[in-house]
Amino acid sequence: MRNPRRAASPASAIAGIGLVAAYLAFAATFRGPRPRFWQRMTRTGLMLGGLALAGDADLRRERPRLTHLVAGAAIAAGLYGVFQIGDRAARRVMPHGSREIGDIYQLRKLRPRSELALRLGLIVAPAEELFWRGLLQRTLSRRFGRGRGAVAATALYGGAHLCTGNATLVGAATMAGAGWSGLAAAGVPMPALIASHMIWDIWIFLVQPTERPG
């Protein structure tokens, strides 16, 4: 009979290696020369997505359906509503909220919008879900239970953004991560989470940002 603990050990090892690599890659991505930010972010996504697929056979067996796209759109819409409220709160409560939000949106100017949509939708967003809510959270949940695994995954995802020195971005990443981790713990399929992250990234960053003109 297959030993679950032994079967999970390769995934646990890859998740641990991937976590260290993720923190190093995020630091290199956000602290490196700004003009090549998106090239580094894309490489980070390819690395993390590849590790997730290599470490978790269940992720490789996932197949998207139309219902996943519909669910993903609904999740993205709800998350966007939350961020509209969070944006206003950050600008009022945090001393540098407006400047930090503007700094995030300045990244849109580094590459053509069509290229950014492809990078975000096809690589960055899917990779983040596959790694943080897929490989990592599932590994943590096997060890600590679904609830604690989701909390730990959220904390680690938010912590990976501390290297940015942008408190608003750290808060936003933690809040979004909490939403996706909670949904993953509740049993929302990975394709729906990926669809929601793809739609949300493109919508909030390129189509309808929370940043106010002027």
- Four-residue CA torsion sign, 82, 83, 88, 93: positive
Domain assignment present for residue 212? The answer is: no
Q: How many domains does the chain have?
A: 1
Domain assignment present for residue 30? The answer is: yes
Provide the percentage of residues in the chain whose pLDDT is more than 90: 74
Domain assignment present for residue 200? The answer is: yes
Domain assignment present for residue 174? The answer is: yes
Determine the pLDDT at residue 88: 67
Provide the percentage of residues in the chain whose pLDDT is more than 70: 89
For 84-134, write each residue's pLDDT tens digit: 776 666 566 665 667 777 888 899 999 999 999 999 999 999 999 999 999
Mean pLDDT over each residue of the chain, to the nearest integer: 89
pLDDT above 90 for 213: no
pLDDT above 60 for 209: yes
**First-last CA distance in the chain:** 65
Determine the pLDDT at residue 100: 76
Degrees (nearest 5) of the Cα angle 149, 16, 193? 50
Q: What range does the domain containing 30 cover? A: 4-207
Q: In the chain, helix, strand, coil percent, each to 5?
A: 85, 0, 15
More confident residue, 92 or 144: 144
Which residues neighbour 200 within 8 Å (Cβ) at sequence distance 6 or greater? 75, 76, 79, 80, 125, 176
pLDDT bucket at 212, cuts 50 / 70 / 90: low
* Whole-number Å distance between alpha carbons of 77 and 42: 25
Domain assignment present for residue 75? The answer is: yes
| Locus of tokens 């960055």 | 124
With beta carbons less than 8 A apart as the criterion, state whether 110 and 34 touch: yes
Domain assignment present for residue 214? The answer is: no
User: What is the number of other CB atoms lying within 10 angstroms of the CB of residue 39?
Assistant: 15
Q: Please tell me the pTM assigned to this model.
A: 0.90
For 49-90, write each residue's pLDDT tens digit: 999 999 999 999 999 999 999 999 999 999 988 877 766 665
- Which residue, 158, 193, 186, 154, is CA-closest to 74? 193
